[in-house]
Copies of this chain bind each other. A is one copy, B any other.
Amino acid sequence: MLPKLTQARAPLTREIFAVNELGETTVVSIPAERPLTIYVDKRELVTLMTLGAHPEKLVLGFLRNQRLIESIDEIESITVDWDVGAAAVKTRQGISDIEARTSKRVVTTGCGQGSMFGDMMAEVDQLVLPAATLSQSQLYGIVNAIRLQETTYKSSGSVHGCALFRGEEMLVFVEDVGRHNAIDTIAGWMWLQNITSMKGDDKVFYTTGRLTSEMVIKSGQMGIPILVSRSGITQMGHELAQRIGLCTIGRATNKRYLSFTCSDRLTS
C-alpha cells in the first residue's frame, strides 16, 4: 500500500544578472536552493536545503536512509507545500522512540543532507552485498549516458547529479544542490518502484560527487554493489567499501577510470 504523495513543484532554476570580466552584464541561470522542513506526525524533524525537484521522494528516501522507517508501508502520506517550505509526513503507527533515534548527530563530509542520525556506522558490518559485476563497456555506457543527460547542471551548474542504472540502462536520474538529497531521492524512488534494498543486486549507482563514507554507507544500505563517480574517494569511503565488499570506481570520465575497491567485479 503506497503512501499518498503530493506532487509539489517549484522552479528549479532562476535567471539572474551577472557581470563578467569584461564588465559586461550577462544573464546566467542559477539553481534553486530552498529549505524544506520535515514534520513527522506534526513533530519537527529536520530542515533540508534542496533544489526542490522531487521533495516527496526526497523525504521518503531521507526517512529510509536515516533508518527512521523500515518499510514504506509505515507512511500514510507525505504532503509538501512550498509556500511554507514544509513536508508533513503522516505515519500509520508513529515512529517508536524517534526522540532517542534522532538525538545522536553525525555531521558528515557529504553534501546536502550531511547529517546522519544514530549509529549508522555500527550497522555497516551487517550489510551483505550481492555478487555483481559490471563490464568495462557497460561502465563506458553509463558514463556516456550521464554525458548525454540534459541537466540542471548543464544549464546552471552548482548541482550534484546521481543516477541508478541496470547495466548501462539508466533507470532514474536525480539532481540536487546536495548530493545526499539526490541519493536519498533515488532511495525514495526505489521504494515507490518497489525496488527494495534486497533488489539492488543488479544495480549500479552513479554520482558526480566524491565517494565519502556516507555515500558508501548509503549505497550499501540500498543494496547496490557498484558505485561509480566522476570524482575521487576518501580514506574512510575506501575502508568502508572494502569492509562491505562494495565496488567503487572513481575518476570515471570518457574512457578513463580508477577502480578503488573490489576491482574483480569489473570485467573486461
Contacts and interface: CB of A to CB of B under 8 A. Distances in A.
A18 B260 contact: yes
A115 B107 contact: yes
A178 interface: yes
Contacts of A65: none
Contacts of A177: 109, 210, 212, 234
Interface size class of A (residues with CB under 8 A): 35 or more
Contact of A263 (B14, B19, B157): B19
A156 B231 CA distance: 11
A213 B105 contact: no
A121 B153 CA distance: 26
A111 B109 contact: yes
Nearest to A52: B235
Nearest to A240: B33
Contacts of A263: 18-19
User: Which one of A34, A108, A211 has the greatest number of beta carbons of chain B within 10 Å?
Assistant: A108
A8 interface: no
Contact of A49 (B34, B109, B251): B109
B110 A235 contact: no
A156 B232 contact: yes
A138 interface: no
Interface stretch (A21-29, A71-79, A87-95): A21-29
A46 B107 contact: yes
Given A112-B114, A136-B21, A210-B158, A236 B107 contact: no
Contacts of A14: 235
A30 B238 contact: yes
